[in-house]
Amino acid sequence: MEMSQIEIIPFGFAAGAEVRGLDLSKPLEPADLATIKAAWLKHLVLVFPDQDLSAEDQIAFSRNFGELDPQESQAPETLHPDHREILVLSNKVESGKKSGTHNSGRNWHTDLTYTSRPAKGAILHCKEKPSVGGDTMWANLYLAYETLNPNIQQLLEELEAIHDVTLIRGLEQRSPDVIAEMKQRNPPMIHPVIRLHPETKRKSYLVGERVRGFVGMSDEESRHLINMLNEHATKPEFVFRHRWRLGDVVMWDNRCTSHVALGDFDQTQPRVMFRCSLEGEEETGRPFERPQTDDRAAMAQAVAAVS
């Protein structure tokens, strides 16, 4: 029996490891798949260098780790024309029009929290890249939670957060039809702040820069807490930064990380990534129903109460 040639090389303490010795265009041996899954749970973000995958290859590899998201939350024109399982992240101009994903991922977020079923994970393949820059950073949300004061941990146990697709940074720069479709497809969604990873049983917290506020809290109260939690989660000691190379395949565990795609590159140079998202194991969200309060009537009642 041939021995596995897989080598796992950690990149940092918080997250990230490189996996060498595999050609992902070929079916995985059961032992190799088990090794990858164990490394994924341990390192949260895995980098497979020098991969030359077709769309079909990437889809087949991704299916080793779960069901693929049906992409119903995405605008159809941002999907691969022949494979709806793939979201095309591109800054290219086609027919004089910017791609609907030309500035995607520019603030800290966990994928698809603006839906009822946040992604389990994602597999991203670097197809084209600028000469420098265009890095992606991931934050380890286990460490973020575990290093909080116990009193803050207790506060978060009962909290629910409102995730809003309109808070995607740069959304307003996209075409009006893409914006309208994103809003129509993805109304604000409520999720518990604390998450228990279904496999590792470790806790993390789900916030990020696409959170509008917390249920039952004022905007001011929410803002201060959101800022504190996001600043804490993205401290350098909790973050892994990946400098992309052509052909890299990166997969991450969306159940315990957040990430940001940096715009630190010459925007006239192409940056093209193919992403498969793994469907979340369960629906944790419910739609946010805005209070049907007449502001003028509420103001009049407030004035009457103190007069």
Query: Residue 76 falls within a domain, yes or no?
Result: yes
Residue 265 clears pLDDT 50, i.e. is over it:
yes
pLDDT greater at residue 238 or residue 178: 238
Query: Residue 307 falls within a domain, yes or no?
Result: no
Q: What is the pLDDT of residue 177?
A: 78
In this structure, what token pair is assigned to residue 195? 């998450």
Query: Residue 186 falls within a domain, yes or no?
Result: yes
Query: Residue 2 falls within a domain, yes or no?
Result: no
Q: Which residues of 156-189 are buried (b: 16+ CB within 10 A; e: fewer)?
A: beebbbbbbbebbbebeebeeebbebbeeebebb
Per the structure, the count of domains in the chain is: 1
Of 240, 140, 241, 151, the closest CA to residue 200 belongs to: 140
Q: Tell me how far the alpha carbon of residue 203 is from its chain's centroid.
A: 17
Q: Identity (one letter) of the amino acid at 57?
A: D
Query: Residue 48 falls within a domain, yes or no?
Result: yes
Cα separation, 235 vs 141, in Å, equals 11
Query: Residue 303 falls within a domain, yes or no?
Result: no
Helix (H) or strand (E) holding 79: none
Residue 209 clears pLDDT 80, i.e. is over it:
yes
Q: What is the DSSP string of 228-264?
A: HHHHHHT-GGGEEEE---TT-EEEEETTSEEEEE---
Query: Residue 301 falls within a domain, yes or no?
Result: no
Percent of the chain with pLDDT over 70: 93
Query: Residue 283 falls within a domain, yes or no?
Result: yes
Query: Mind telling me the catalytic residues?
Result: 109, 111, 259, 275
What is the pTM for the complete model shown? 0.91
pLDDT one-digit tens code per residue, 32-52: 999 999 999 999 999 999 999
Cα separation, 88 vs 212, in Å, equals 27
The boundaries of the domain holding residue 65 are 7-291
CATH of residue 68's domain is 3.60.130.10
